[in-house]
Structure 1
Amino acid sequence: MVTYRVYPFGHCGGKIVKDSDYTLEEVSFHHVVLEGSHYEIGEQLAEYIKGDEDRVSRYTAHRVNPKKLGFDNFQSLRMYYEDVCPGISEELQGVADGLGLSIDMMPYWETSLISPQMSTCSQVAVLSTITEDEHSYLGRNYDYDTTRDDRVLCTTRAKGKASHIGFTAFLYGRHDGMNEHGLIASLTGAGVFDVPLKRRGVVIWVAIRSILDSCRDVKEALALLEKVPVGDFDSLVLLDRSSNAALVEYADGVSSVKEIHFNDPDGYLYSVNHYRLPSMLEFNKMNVGIMGHSQLRGEAIESTLEPLIPQINKEDIKRLLSTCHPKGLCNHYYGDGFGTLWSVIYDSTSGMVEACFGAPSHNPYREYYLEDPAGMEHHSATAPVSHSRLPI
């Protein structure tokens, strides 16, 4: 671990920073390409887990007690997940068999029914009608700490399902992603809510995986979501190749949707970490942590993009993601669970993905495609850990 002195990438002003302000931490990422049946994909994931003791402890645990989760037995719990995301239980079975464990030893069964205490991030979907190259893009930063996330970009080619690429959530879910049809789905937390959930439902990353596996456009994704019990405090942005987009906001089983379409005068949608749709604003009263910080990021999105309409280009989006708060969306507050772990730009029109591992203020973007060969790559990235606390 060394001290960082100059920002080599991005737009944090290119300034010299004091040694006491940041510490440079090396963070590992992987890009894995999986293919085959869901069970075979699970077996491949088991090989990935075996490669590291920390992964073994993270993805295996004590035996799940289904009664504590509201189910009579484990089979009922398993079928609940299978109804929401067909094929996922076979994937988990492949992992369990590959590790020589009982399938009810996988912590995913619990973590995907229990809302995270803090979920952050920022994202914006831009329609082709307001971009210079007439492509539709979704750009997003995922913010958390350096220890509690998968840090895996996964290309998945499951038999009978749409191929997709995205960042994993407990390996089997997805925080964000794009499939072969150009459909993109991506989440942000709606804030920090220190309240118990009243309704049982899955965490949104389960629904995103199901959308990427089975839907072709925003219309199909919204129809699927009507059947999925989401019990979290989250925002979901959808974008498809025909320049349709939607913002879906969830609060403990309550939801609201805003759609925009080709030639819509708005031209873009975004979500940060507070509710923005009229029927959901009352829930902001329970947001105990980052309301002010979230509002500043929303203002940064608007002030950056509005003057550029209708000639927004991908570099403008990249600059927004790479510029440090409060003028942009990049954060270095890893100690508070609010450092940018990755940045990604999904091009719905071309199918290309540009992903940056680590803070985009300090790391380069790399190109990825759904056709990338099977296997696994390791990447090291820089996390510039701020010694200051998150300003809220």
Structure 2
Amino acid sequence: MEKAAYSIRKGKPFAVGVAVGEALKAQRLKKTSYLEKLEQPIDQQTLDATLHLFNRYCRHILEEVKGFSDCFDIDWQKSFFLYYSFLQPGCSQLAIRKSADYQGPSALIRNYDFDLGTEDFAVVNYQIESRYRFVGTSMMTFGVDSGINEHGLAVSMSACGPPVGVFKKAQTTGLRFWIAIRLLLETCQTAEEARNMLDALPLGDNVSYVCLDRSDNMLLYQTIDGIRDARIITKQENEYSLHVTNHPVLTKTIQTFPFAAHNSLVRYHLLTDYLSAPKAKNLTEIKTIYTTPYPQGLYCTFYADYFGTTKTVILYPDECKLEICWCGYEKNGWRTYAADAADLEESYNVEYEEGKTPESMFRLEELE
């Protein structure tokens, strides 16, 4: 059993940081394994480089960190968030738009697959001064790994190749995905604007970013070991969907890392087969695929091996809202949160299942 929460973060950044700290003290927010040690030693060279990036690209997030640190009476320059954010997970992403092949609302759907200990289990509604309002799924307390803003821009991510952090030393320095996604949601209105911002940001992860805007433009932006490639599918093009799991699918990124884990290929081809079938598709079927156990579906329960579904999220650009099924476990049901809603904060229990990891799960295979 885990406890999930809906958290509203409104006002000046420093005050937001203090409020998050107070909520954590009051146990209204989960204490993840990242929070076991709020202060982490950072060498001066790394700290200087980190602060340079934060001051240039996201000073308001740094103010939130300062407020949070003040609440706990710790040195903000040794904050866990700074420690982990300078420079992880498996996911399946699908952007799909209204067409003759798909009878449903335009949506960006994704699973987030990792472990329970690091999952924030929180949906956050950010209303920071001079920034676009958005609702998203919390990552590392002040970051987000998916969300949708007041202009209908939906953004999510999945690891692209070997994840940076616990499993792989970074080949390039830059911001982590949970900061990049928050900046996209706070700053951009369209997929094209999101691409331009990603081009400008120093990115330190191996990640596939997927964006879908209110005009039905779709973006796939992949980065691996500092090499980047991108593709935009505009509303004028015939393709009605875009999907990616955890391996490179664009020319430059494939050339950089021409391999994929067996499970990533299984999930990718599962989506490919469904989307290419000569029949009309609908959102109910897609939800079923995302909540059906692997390998018949995308729902994974292998938490002991850092590959369990912690959340299934659907982002709707037309309505600026998200739908979430915690742990991808249908017994938890689906909850809806809107970017412009005045919902009250809440917390509730969620359940999960644990399964045995297939032997072939992480076998590395060469891309053809």
TM score, norm. by length of structure 2: 0.89
> Is 1:125–2:95 an aligned residue pair?
yes
- Residue 343 of structure 1 is aligned with which of 302, 308, 312? 312
Partner of 2:364: none
- Residue 277 of structure 2 is aligned with which of 307, 317, 331? 307
Task: Return the offset for 1:122.
Answer: 0.7
Could you report, residue by residue, the CA deviation over 1:284-324 in whole angstroms, capped at 9, with x for unpaired residues? 34x5xx61110110111122222266x43321221121122
What residue ranges of structure 2 are gaps of 5+ in the alignment? 362-368
Task: Return the offset for 1:131.
Answer: 6.3
- Residue 284 of structure 1 is aligned with which of 253, 257, 262? 257
Which residue identity does 2:39 align to in structure 1? H
User: What is the count of residue pairs matched by the alignment?
Assistant: 356
* Structure 2 CA distance for aligned equivalents of residues 100 and 390 of structure 1: 47
Task: Return the offset for 1:33.
Answer: 1.4
Partner of 2:365: none
Which residue identity does 2:316 align to in structure 1? D
* Structure 1 CA distance for aligned equivalents of residues 23 and 17 of structure 2: 10
Partner of 2:42: 65
Partner of 2:31: 55
Q: Describe the SS at the equivalent of 2:136.
A: strand
* Structure 1 CA distance for aligned equivalents of residues 189 and 264 of structure 2: 31
Could you report, residue by residue, the CA deviation over 1:98-135 in whole angstroms, capped at 9, with x for unpaired residues? 22222113111121125x4xx21111000223565563
Contact persistence 2:104–2:283 (CA under 8 A): no
Matches within 5 A, 1:189-208: 189-192=159-162, 195-208=168-181
Which residue identity does 1:55 align to in structure 2? K
Partner of 1:327: 296
Partner of 1:143: 113
Partner of 1:31: 6
Partner of 1:153: 123
Task: Specify whether residues 38 and 133 from structure 1 end up closer, same or farther in structure 2 by C-alpha distance, changes over 3 A only.
Answer: farther
> Is 1:80–2:53 an aligned residue pair?
yes
Contact persistence 1:230–1:252 (CA under 8 A): no
Contact persistence 1:218–1:239 (CA under 8 A): yes
Matches within 5 A, 1:84-123: 84-114=57-87, 116=88, 119-123=89-93
Task: Specify whether residues 62 and 351 from structure 1 end up closer, same or farther in structure 2 by C-alpha distance, changes over 3 A only.
Answer: closer
Contact persistence 2:158–2:209 (CA under 8 A): yes
Could you report, residue by residue, the CA deviation over 1:56-115 in whole angstroms, capped at 9, with x for unpaired residues? 87435335424352x5x4xx532411322241111111211222222113111121125x
* Structure 2 CA distance for aligned equivalents of residues 365 and 150 of structure 1: 18
Partner of 1:254: 227
* Structure 1 CA distance for aligned equivalents of residues 278 and 112 of structure 2: 24
Matches within 5 A, 1:142-291: 142-192=112-162, 195-285=168-258, 291=261
Task: Specify whether residues 36 and 47 from structure 1 end up closer, same or farther in structure 2 by C-alpha distance, changes over 3 A only.
Answer: same
Contact persistence 1:322–1:328 (CA under 8 A): yes
Q: Describe the SS at the equivalent of 1:124.
A: strand
Task: Return the offset for 1:372.
Answer: 3.4
Task: Specify whether residues 86 and 225 from structure 1 end up closer, same or farther in structure 2 by C-alpha distance, changes over 3 A only.
Answer: farther
Partner of 2:332: 363
Task: Specify whether residues 95 and 390 from structure 1 end up closer, same or farther in structure 2 by C-alpha distance, changes over 3 A only.
Answer: farther
Contact persistence 1:144–1:339 (CA under 8 A): yes
Q: Describe the SS at the equivalent of 2:352.
A: strand
- Residue 43 of structure 1 is aligned with which of 7, 13, 18? 18
Deviates more, 1:217-226 or 1:359-368: 359-368
What residue ranges of structure 1 are gaps of 5+ in the alignment? 1-25
Task: Return the offset for 1:220.
Answer: 1.1
* Structure 2 CA distance for aligned equivalents of residues 106 and 250 of structure 1: 27
Which residue identity does 2:93 align to in structure 1? Q
TM score, norm. by length of structure 1: 0.84
Contact persistence 1:32–1:154 (CA under 8 A): yes
* Structure 1 CA distance for aligned equivalents of residues 319 and 30 of structure 2: 37
Contact persistence 1:304–1:320 (CA under 8 A): no
Contact persistence 2:33–2:118 (CA under 8 A): no
Deviates more, 1:57-66 or 1:254-263: 57-66
Could you report, residue by residue, the CA deviation over 1:182-212 in whole angstroms, capped at 9, with x for unpaired residues? 1011110113355532321111221101000
Could you report, residue by residue, the CA deviation over 1:255-312 in whole angstroms, capped at 9, with x for unpaired residues? 0001101142221111101111122113434x5xx61110110111122222266x43
* Structure 1 CA distance for aligned equivalents of residues 100 and 159 of structure 2: 27
Could you report, residue by residue, the CA deviation over 1:364-383 in whole angstroms, capped at 9, with x for unpaired residues? 11111123336531121121
* Structure 1 CA distance for aligned equivalents of residues 61 and 221 of structure 2: 23
